[in-house]
């Protein structure tokens, strides 16, 4: 059954194309899900490893830190995230930093998490993205709460939405130039404004209560 196109039909990412007698594969579009190999009736497809980046691991003070780095030009971060998750020590408290949006890397990062913190800003754009993220978390059945950044700017759309949807607002962070300057230098806000630590401790305890009940 040559060129039956079952693999083409099965690929949700259009990584396989058949043109006449030629089968074309676009590695940059492939998510490595294995669906094409699974569905091929002739066992004509095999999977080969391909390096798309690297994973770095080491201590950051008292914290065990893991980060993934994609090779330049590689658009698919999901395989690296999957490998990073294998390094997680489940006996410890683990914080996973996901990219914004609701794309595949976000889904892979949040999958099977105990709780998700959705960070937004009080603008129409922020509210639009928040609605999409909330729908995603509910579909994944992952508990979540919201942190509003630059909370003293914009409008009340995000707060009103959270109230109407019974979504807990875990923390509101007002605009602060010192925080922005520290962020540009790669410094945590709590090192510049130590009194903020109590706010983050309060948020942590709130989340811990929700997770443990």
pTM: 0.82
Same domain, 139 and 179: yes
Same domain, 136 and 67: no
Q: What is the model's pLDDT at position 2?
A: 60
Question: Of all residues in the chain, what percent carry a pLDDT higher than 70?
Answer: 99
Q: What is the model's pLDDT at position 202?
A: 96
Same domain, 118 and 67: no
Domain count across the chain:
3
Same domain, 19 and 65: no
Say yes or no to pLDDT of 1 above 60.
no
CATH number at residue 173: 3.40.50.300
Alpha-carbon distance of 180 to 203, in angstroms, equals 21
Same domain, 60 and 84: yes
Domain of residue 131 covers: 95-212
Same domain, 102 and 206: yes
**pLDDT grade for 20, boundaries at 50, 70 and 90:** confident
Output the CA angle 68-72-75, nearest 5 degrees: 75
Mean pLDDT of the chain: 92
* pLDDT digits 0-9 by tens, 136-189: 999 999 999 999 999 999 999 999 999 999 999 999 999 999 999 998 998 988
Alpha helices by DSSP H, the chain: 6-10, 35-39, 78-86, 104-110, 124-140, 157-164, 177-184, 189-192, 197-212
In the predicted model, what is the mean pLDDT of residues 59-88? Answer: 90
């Amino acid at each position: 059954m040559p060129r039956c196109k079952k693999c083409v039909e099965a690929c949700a990412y259009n990584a396989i194309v058949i043109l006449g007698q030629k089968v074309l594969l676009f590695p940059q579009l492939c998510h490595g899900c294995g669906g094409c190999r699974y569905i091929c009736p002739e066992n004509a497809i095999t999977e080969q490893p391909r390096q798309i980046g690297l994973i770095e691991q080491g201590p950051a003070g008292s914290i065990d830190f893991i980060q993934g780095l994609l090779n330049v030009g590689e658009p698919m971060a999901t395989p690296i995230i999957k490998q990073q998750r294998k390094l997680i020590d489940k006996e410890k408290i683990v914080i996973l930093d996901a990219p914004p949006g609701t794309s595949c890397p976000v889904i892979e990062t949040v999958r099977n998490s105990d709780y998700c913190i959705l960070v937004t800003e009080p603008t129409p754009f922020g509210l639009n993205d928040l609605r999409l993220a909330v729908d995603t978390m509910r579909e994944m059945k992952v508990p979540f709460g919201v942190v509003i950044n630059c909370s003293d700017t914009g409008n009340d759309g995000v707060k009103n939405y959270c109230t109407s949807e019974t979504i807990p607002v875990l923390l509101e962070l007002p605009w602060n130039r010192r925080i922005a300057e520290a962020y540009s230098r790669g410094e945590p806000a709590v090192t510049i404004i130590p009194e903020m630590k109590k706010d983050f401790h309060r948020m942590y305890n709130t989340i811990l209560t929700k997770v443990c009940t």
